[in-house]
Amino acid sequence: MKGKYVKIALLAVGIFVVWSLFFGIRLVGYVDSIQRFGIERTACGTDGCRAPVMIFDVAWVVVVFVGPLIGALIWLVIWGIRSKR
């Protein structure tokens, strides 16, 4: 039973490392751009946009960057619960 939890923990760390290599660096750049220019200019560019467009742009970025991490971790938890070993 203990080996199962160690295996799941190692897989979770591996998922986080792979996610960090693919998405984490870009996400750091996005957050840095928000800190320098503000969220409206980062999401909408220099032309600007309306509030709903900005909200959907930010939501899209969150889903694209954080979605794979959350999805993989949820899959890992479900697999860990269903696994007999």
Residue 43 burial (CB count, 10 A): 22
What confidence score (pLDDT) does residue 75 get? 92
Structural domain boundaries enclosing 63: 2-82
Predicted TM-score of the model (pTM): 0.67
- pLDDT value at 13 more than 80: yes
Q: Which of 5-9, 24-28, 35-39 has the lowest mean pLDDT?
A: 24-28
Q: Report how far residue 69's alpha carbon sits from residue 73's, in angstroms, rounded to the nearest whole number.
A: 6
How many separate domains does the chain show?
1
The per-residue pLDDT for range 31-67, each reduced to its tens digit, is 888 899 888 888 787 677 787 888 888 888 888 888 8
Alpha-carbon Rg of the chain, whole angstroms?
A: 18
